[in-house]
Every structure is written in C-alpha cells, then in structure tokens.
Amino acid sequence: MKTVVFYVDSRPQDRERHGGSGRKMTRTAHSRLPAEKVEELRRALEREEQELRERLSAERAAEVVQRPEEPLDFGDWCQKSHDEWLFLNQNRLEMALLRDIQDALRRLEEGGYGLCQECEQPISSKRLSAVPWARYCASCQERFADLSSRD
C-alpha cells in the first residue's frame, strides 16, 4: 500500500465532499495489479501518447488548412471548409484524449492509477486493459453516462 498526496480542486463533487477547493488530501492506493500488468499498461499509454502527438503535428495541420494554388469554385470551397471542420473537431477530440492519457501517466507515477476517481474503488483489470486511461470504474462511468444523456 502506498499513501498518495493529491489536491482536491478539479471536480465539483470533490469540492462538495471535502469542503472547498485546493485542500491537501491523502489517500492510500490499493493497487491490485501485478507489476508486469502495470508496466504493460504504461507502455500502452506511452505508445498511444506518441501516436496522438504524431497525429497532432503541425505538419499535418498545415496540410489540411493550406490554400490551394489554383482557384476553387463554390463546391470546392465547401468541400475544403467541411474537411477543415472535420479536422478541427477530430483534433479537439484527440487533444482531450491526449490529456486523459497524460493524466493516467501522472497517476501511474503518483500511485493513484487503477482507482476510480469517484468511488475510490479499484478499476477492473479488464477495463484498464481496454481503456488504460480510464478514470472511473464501469459502474461510475455508466452513472455519469446516464446523467449526461438526460441533460
């Protein structure tokens, strides 16, 4: 078991539960994952991070938003605009995923990896294998999905 120090300030439920933001808290991490599994997940996270960084490269962005040499007709401009819109939305999603992966790598270093950030129960090994950057156990994730679908 390892004691982890963290600051409660990012999630509204933390602020309500602990009475404000920025309070220093400690938590004991109960990692049930074997060291080999943790290393496997770390490598998967690092590999995914590298792939995302390559997809988010400036060269790739320049290819999509460059202006063509020849004049375009209205249909070509519409297609180009649509392609740029798709690229920017995909880029936004990939940036969010990159932040999730970096957060998971930080939790690996600090000792909180594998614990649900809501209920603080261990996240199943199967879930972590499928989604190594998972922040929540399956039941908490389902609850959040149900709440967001109602909005």
Angle made by CA atoms 91, 72, 94, in degrees to the nearest 5: 5
Instruction: Report pLDDT digits (tens) over 4-42.
Output: 333 333 444 444 544 544 444 444 444 577 889 999 999
Q: Which of 7, 9, 12, 3 is nearest to 24 (CA)?
A: 7
pLDDT at 147: 84
Question: 115-139 burial string, b = 16+ CB within 10 Å, else e?
Answer: bbbbeeebbeeebbeeebbbbbbee
pLDDT at 12: 47
| Domains of the chain in sequence order | 31-150 (1.20.120.910)
DSSP category for residue 122: B
Is residue 27 helix, strand or coil? strand
Residue 116's pLDDT band, with cuts at 50, 70 and 90, is very high
**Are 134 and 115 in contact, with CB atoms under 8 Å apart?**
no
pLDDT at 80: 84
**Residue with token string 């997809």:** 55
